[in-house]
Chains A and B, each alone.
Chain A
Amino acid sequence: AQKITQTQPGMFVQEKEAVTLDCTYDTSDPSYGLFWYKQPSSGEMIFLIYQGSYDQQNATEGRYSLNFQKARKSANLVISASQLGDSAMYFCAMREGPSTDKLIFGTGTRLQVFP
């Protein structure tokens, strides 16, 4: 069965520093997609970045990049130049196969950015 693991319940980073949030996944499906979402204290889920299993290059969106290591089944989120507004919960998710597109979520990592 597909599974997403986020082993860091909480992370601290100083403003303007880079931080890596870990995510490993398990699937036997050769076609899958990996997503990262941010959930601030207000509760909404904000889509950050997507990586497809066949994508040759790591995805990047502004200050967010996804360090995709297929052989290790990891999809870590890297946030560069952290800002105070980056303080939030971050969820890694995997799309199950091409037929349903439902997302399976990890348990999340709470990131706190301090001045």
Chain B
Amino acid sequence: DSGVTQTPKHLITATGQRVTLRCSPRSGDLSVYWYQQSLDQGLQFLIQYYNGEERAKGNILERFSAQQFPDLHSELNLSSLELGDSALYFCASSPGRGNTEAFFGQGTRLTVV
């Protein structure tokens, strides 16, 4: 058990819909990262938050947004979903800067039908 909790584990939804993925980081970790893993794109960094503030942005679509709350949990919002958004979405957490470790949650498998 990595200590990073993601909910839900599986999500099936229709095109055009909006979903929210939730992540609770390991106790004490200030950084939260979101990654997308798809068959054609591999593991892609989406966005990072550090202590409530956006720290880095990667290949995140405008239809996607995220935030980190004062209790450090994070949510990834995906809207106007398309078939191509079907993927495994991971949250990871780490203590802060210059990390020597980064632990991943079990992922949320999103299927858009």
State the A residues within 8 Å of B (CB). 31, 33, 35, 37, 43-47, 50, 52, 91, 93, 95, 98-105, 107-108
State the B residues within 8 Å of A (CB). 2, 31, 33, 35, 42-43, 45, 48, 55-56, 58, 88, 90, 92, 94, 96-107, 109
Whether B107 and A43, one on each chain, are in contact in the complex, defined by CB atoms closer than 8 angstroms, is: yes
Q: How far is the CA of A28 from the CA of B33 in the complex (A)?
A: 23
Whether B31 and A101, one on each chain, are in contact in the complex, defined by CB atoms closer than 8 angstroms, is: yes
Of the candidates A47, A91, A99, the one whose C-beta lies within 8 Å of that of B43 is: A91
Whether A105 and B48, one on each chain, are in contact in the complex, defined by CB atoms closer than 8 angstroms, is: no
Whether A103 and B45, one on each chain, are in contact in the complex, defined by CB atoms closer than 8 angstroms, is: yes
Whether B107 and A50, one on each chain, are in contact in the complex, defined by CB atoms closer than 8 angstroms, is: no
Whether A100 and B55, one on each chain, are in contact in the complex, defined by CB atoms closer than 8 angstroms, is: yes
Residues of A within 8 A of B101 (CB): 47, 50
